[in-house]
């Protein structure tokens, strides 16, 4: 029997929403579903290396300087409070033995979740493959994703 497919567009780069996406993705993968996460827009920050600048022109560099990448420094959609909220949330998660986003990336990969980076966003943000962490399964555009979404049993935009 063919496996059910589950996929998520991770548009948001907020720690809380990204966490929810990883909880759903790893749960689905554990249940035997073929799971893919398609990171786009702010969601790409999850897969970006921590580096101070990226982008090819001054405006892209300015935008990416504000919009820092790195799974460990995502902000919260609420109560961000200049980073105090995310710090509190990280302690709350650790206390409850909920994995961090970095750990969730590893767990997801271990369970066979496909991590896909959206190349459509690359064009206007000026990203290059070198700006991203190792272990990304593929780089693809919106058409590839829509093809996947059509085959999915469940698909979310987060």
Instruction: Tell me: does residue 32 bind a copy of itself (CB under 8 A).
Output: no
**Cα–Cα distance between 40 and 37 in angstroms, integer?**
10
**Cα–Cα distance between 93 and 146 in angstroms, integer?**
33
HSE, side-chain direction, 13 A CA sphere, residue 55: 17
Rule CB under 8 A: choose which of 61, 68, 70, 98 binds a copy of itself: 98
Contact range with a copy of itself by CB under 8 A, out of 46-54, 63-71, 100-108, 132-140: 63-71
Q: Cβ–Cβ contacts within 10 Å for residue 92, how many?
A: 10
Write out 8-65 in H/E/C secondary structure.
EEECCCCHHHHHHHHHHHHHHHHCCCEEEEEECHHHHHHHECCCCCCCCCHHHHHHHH
Instruction: Tell me: does residue 120 bind a copy of itself (CB under 8 A).
Output: yes
Rule CB under 8 A: choose which of 68, 93, 107, 137 binds a copy of itself: 93
Q: In degrees rounded to 5, what are phi and psi of residue 12?
A: -80, 145
DSSP three-state, residue 5: strand
Looking at the Cβ atoms of 70 and 152, the one nearer to a copy of itself is 152
Rule CB under 8 A: choose which of 18, 28, 44, 117 binds a copy of itself: 28
Shortest separation between residue 68's beta carbon and a copy of itself, angstroms: 11
Rule CB under 8 A: choose which of 60, 100, 107, 119 binds a copy of itself: 60
Which residues of the shown chain bind a copy of itself in the complex (CB under 8 A)? 4, 6, 9, 11, 13, 16-17, 20, 23-24, 27-28, 30-31, 33, 40-42, 57, 59-60, 62-63, 66-67, 77-79, 88-89, 91-93, 95-98, 120, 123-125, 142-143, 145-147, 149-150, 152-158
């Amino acid at each position: 029997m063919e496996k059910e497919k589950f996929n998520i567009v991770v548009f948001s780069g907020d720690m809380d929403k990204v966490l929810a996406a990883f909880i759903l993705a790893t749960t689905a993968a554990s249940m035997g579903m073929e799971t893919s996460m398609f990171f786009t827009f702010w969601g790409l920050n999850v897969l970006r290396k921590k580096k101070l600048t990226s982008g090819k022109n001054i405006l892209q560099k300015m935008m990416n300087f504000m919009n820092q990448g790195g799974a460990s420094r995502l902000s919260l959609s609420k109560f961000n409070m200049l980073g105090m909220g995310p710090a509190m949330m990280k302690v709350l998660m650790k206390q409850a033995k909920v994995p961090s986003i970095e750990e969730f990336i590893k767990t997801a990969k271990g369970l066979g979740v496909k991590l896909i980076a959206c190349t459509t966003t690359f064009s206007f943000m000026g990203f290059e493959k070198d700006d991203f962490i190792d272990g990304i399964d593929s780089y693809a555009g919106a058409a590839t994703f829509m093809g996947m979404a059509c085959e999915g049993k469940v698909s979310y935009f987060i």
